[in-house]
Amino acid sequence: MRSVGRPKVWVPAAALVAALFGPAAVQAQADPGQLPVLDIAPSVLNYAQDASVREGLQQAFAAAPVRRGARAPARASLAYDSTPALRGQALLAFAARAPDAASAEAVRTAFAHNDYDKAYRGLIASYGLAADDVADAMTAYLVLGWLIVNRADDPHPGSVQAARDQIAETLADDPRYADVKARGPAGEEFKLLFVATHAGWNSARKDGTLPAYEAGIARNLAMSGFDMKTLDLTGAGFTARR
């Protein structure tokens, strides 16, 4: 991405792998950028596609912009306990969403020896998002999708936090997410989707398939009710483009 003088939450995938897992891991691991992320994403997005959640988010994003400083921060807790067991279960569930057995095995191989949770934490570190909160994980993916679709510069951390407030307010009103046990699987799969999507984005830029990748991300999000070409990301969070 282009530098705009702010910390980068989404750094090149190869550099991230080298920083977090050591230089040898870049060559040793299966390339997460070659995973069938465009095929997997729609079913993970089902966590945000429930009618009440989708409509709540659409209403929040379409509302007239409100300066974040003019209202109390909405730090609704949607935390859960991100344990190794939960992360292992989430990886199996994520791989099972692949379109065929070979693709599922590729997902398991890509993440078998690399800690996706550690990678996720490294990517979001500068933006104040938590690694054990379903609203934060959903925010990370939706902001990344918005960046990809709009070919945007890195967002200001305050804009990311404002988007997180919008998403947390909506999820906090959904009875499913009142149950801490329901938060974990959704949060961990969004973290996996975020890491794999970022890696795929980097690979698409390298191999000349970026337009198709951008179109695929845009299509998946639009099918789930998030038309990122109609939204801006501002200090008020996601707002309808005017």
Beta strands 231-234 and 237-240, pairing class: antiparallel
The residue whose two tokens read 């945007």 is: 152
Which pLDDT tens digit goes with each residue over 169-181?
888 888 888 888 8
DSSP 10: S
Beta bridge partners of 133: 79
> What number of helices (H) and strands (E) belong to the chain?
11, 2
Give the whole-angstrom CA distance, residue 169 versus residue 191: 20
Band (64; pLDDT cuts 50, 70, 90): very low
Reply yes or no on whether the pLDDT at 186 is more than 50: yes
Mean pLDDT estimate for the chain: 81
Residue type, 193: L
Reply yes or no on whether the pLDDT at 53 is more than 80: no
What would the two tokens of residue 201 be?
A: 């984005």
| Lowest mean pLDDT, pick from 55-64, 79-88, 187-196, 223-232 | 55-64
DSSP letter string, 11-65: --HHHHHHHHH-HHHHHHS--GGGS-HHHHHHHHGGGGTSHHHHHHHHHHHHSPP
Q: What are phi and psi of 133, to 5 degrees?
A: -145, 125
Average pLDDT of span 180-194: 94
